[in-house]
Chains A and B, each alone.
Chain A
Amino acid sequence: GAGVSQSPRYKVTKRGQDVALRCDPISGHVSLYWYRQALGQGPEFLTYFNYEAQQDKSGLPNDRFSAERPEGSISTLTIQRTEQRDSAMYRCASSPRTGYSNQPQHFGDGTRLSIL
């Protein structure tokens, strides 16, 4: 597609369940980022992929959060044993080059996650 695609757009689940959020970046984009945005706040960095390599996961809040990008394209962010504090908008972004460059990140519509 023309832009970054995220699915599902909305996810409501009960506390304790596992969830998987998907991101399909713009075709050919090398870099892929995950961010989390709480209500009333700006997005916060979670993790970064350069092709299939997860080069920075410093923003993942704890070991319940994991991400993968096995073929260097689609990425999945997985949250295990969800808690109410995990409720947020999860945003994915992609960029055509690695790391610092003059190419900005393009964002998807996000997944709104609500934990009951």
Chain B
Amino acid sequence: AQSVSQHNHHVILSEAASLELGCNYSYGGTVNLFWYVQYPGQHLQLLLKYFSGDPLVKGIKGFEAEFIKSKFSFNLRKPSVQWSDTAEYFCAVIAHGSGNTGKLIFGQGTTLQVKP
């Protein structure tokens, strides 16, 4: 079965530090890749997505992610975090195959705490 693994469950950084959150998936076929973010008290929001083309995708609030097909990875990066980036981050995959439902397979999430 397809799965998504996020390497870090809880990350603590100081403001202005650089961020990289790891995400790996297990599926050999075509995938669509996403990062969702949940700020405290809010719903899941799309941060960025990859469907095709340039493997380096840019999202909102200065985030970017790189799809490395050979490594089955889609790591999230930000050069300089802010206190307002404190949130829970989820990597998710749509694995193309039978059914064509577009259901998302999520990782377990990474809680990011940014200290002012």
> Interface residues, chain A, CB within 8 Å of chain B?
3-4, 31, 33, 35, 40-45, 48, 50, 55-56, 59, 91, 93, 95, 98-102, 104-110
Which of chain B's residues 87-103 have a Cβ closer than 8 Å to chain A?
Answer: 90, 92, 94, 96, 99-103
B104 A56 Cβ-Cβ under 8 A: no
Contacting residue for A33 out of B36, B45, B104, B109, CB 8 A: B104
A41-B109, A91-B44 given; A100·B94 CB < 8 A: yes
Number of interface residues of B (CB under 8 A): 26
Q: Closest 9 interchain pairs by CB?
A: A42-B106, A99-B100, A107-B44, A45-B103, A48-B101, A56-B101, A99-B102, A109-B43, A104-B46
Cβ contacts A to B, 30 pairs, < 8 Å: A31-B102, A33-B104, A41-B109, A42-B107, A42-B108, A43-B44, A43-B90, A43-B106, A45-B104, A45-B105, A48-B103, A50-B101, A55-B99, A55-B101, A56-B101, A98-B102, A99-B101, A99-B102, A100-B94, A100-B100, A102-B49, A102-B51, A104-B49, A105-B102, A106-B46, A107-B36, A107-B44, A107-B45, A109-B43, A110-B43
